[in-house]
Amino acid sequence: MTRKKRTGEDYAELLTKIKTDFDERPTRMAAEPRRWIEFIEHVATFGARYSLGDAVAVCVQSTPPARCDRHRRGGDERAVRSVPV
């Protein structure tokens, strides 16, 4: 399946459409206060998810892996796994 190549005109039309929609969207939302609330809720939810995911990634990257005494002793199955503090 071949893809149709876009020309400069196609991009210009698409950009004009996007800019128009971008400029009109706040006007439409201003006419309906509920839409502002929905928008703010969506932004807050996205921000919270992103922040939580980022925090987990930082935590995982900064925590050293748990050590296991069994590996240091050469395979002793009775060894208890140590928990990092």
Q: How far apart are CA 80 and CA 73, in angstroms?
A: 11
Q: Is 8 helix (H, G, I), strand (E, B) or coil?
A: helix
Domain boundaries, the chain: 8-72
pTM of the model: 0.41
pLDDT in tens, 10-37: 899 999 999 999 999 888 888 888 888 8
